[in-house]
Amino acid sequence: MQFEEAVRKRRMVRNFTDESVSDQDLKKILELALHAPSAGFSQGWAYVVVRDENQRKQVGKVQGETEGYVQSGFGNFISKAPVDIIACTSEQVYHRRYQEKDKIKEDGTEIDWPTPYWFFDIGAASMIMLLAAVDLGYSAVFTGVFDPQGMRKLLSIPEEYHPVGVISIGRRAKDKKSPSLKRGRQPLEHVVHYESW
């Protein structure tokens, strides 16, 4: 598949068949995520891959699947997907990296973080996984983790790591579209400013 086709085809799919994701494809998706850019090459990301059916149900529970997505007609797509990848990031990894010799300021302090790069980087890596899934013929959806402590507890994620979202991957089944899509995609001229704003 060409890059443009994968980008245009990708959308958050919220229903999956029972078909599994092969070990080889899953490994490829995860390996490609390692190619995401990261500030100072900090690579403060970590992933928990959940394939076990019971454990997926628990992940769905932490994500509030029943009272949230099932209630609003989307179904139990997080626990139904054959693979859930919990994408985590560690702010501490970035602080440690930016205290290294080539990054620390002359006065011995860390940079004044203009943006929390640890969130930027896990976003970039997540995007690669979403696109890689499409490229391999699967579909995927990213759901935000609203109970990070609950997710940490369920999956024994160290306190230092923040579970940002769950990337659920599988073969697409007929799904309900998000009402958010009614907003429509912004036209180029609304978001792009040439030479100055």
Ligand X SMILES: Cc1cc2nc3c(=O)[nH]c(=O)nc-3n(C[C@H](O)[C@H](O)[C@H](O)COP(=O)(O)O)c2cc1C
Q: Which is nearer to ligand X, 91 or 110 (CB)?
A: 91
Burial of 100 (0-12, 13-18, 19+ CB in 10 A): exposed
We find the least distance from the C-beta atom of residue 157 to ligand X, in angstroms, to be 18
We find the least distance from the C-beta atom of residue 44 to ligand X, in angstroms, to be 17
We find the least distance from the C-beta atom of residue 182 to ligand X, in angstroms, to be 10
CA 181 vs CA 13, 145, 175, 184, 185: distances in Å: 12, 21, 14, 6, 8
| Positions in 32-91 near ligand X (CB under 6 A) | none
Instruction: Find the part of the chain contacting ligand X (CB under 6 A) among 42-50, 101-109, 147-155, 176-184.
Output: 176-184
Instruction: Find the part of the chain contacting ligand X (CB under 6 A) among 35-43, 46-54, 95-103, 178-186.
Output: 178-186
Q: Which helix (H) or strand (E) holds 142?
A: strand 139-144
Strands ordered across the beta sheet of 83-89: 45-50, 83-89, 162-170, 139-144
Amino acid at 87: A
We find the least distance from the C-beta atom of residue 144 to ligand X, in angstroms, to be 4
**Is residue 115 at the binding interface for ligand X, with CB under 6 A as the rule?**
no
Among 180, 190, 191, 194, interactor with ligand X by CB under 6 A: 180
We find the least distance from the C-beta atom of residue 5 to ligand X, in angstroms, to be 15
d(CA 56, CA 85): 10
Beta-strand relationship, 83-89 and 45-50:
antiparallel
Identify whether the C-beta of residue 168 lies closer than 8 Å to the C-beta of residue 141.
yes
| Positions in 7-36 near ligand X (CB under 6 A) | 11-12
Among 55, 58, 99, 178, interactor with ligand X by CB under 6 A: 178
Cα atoms in the 13 Å half-sphere on the side-chain side of 40: 21
Site string for ligand X, 132-161 (x = CB under 6 A): ----------xxx-----------------
Residues that bind ligand X (CB under 6 A): 11-12, 142-144, 178, 180-181
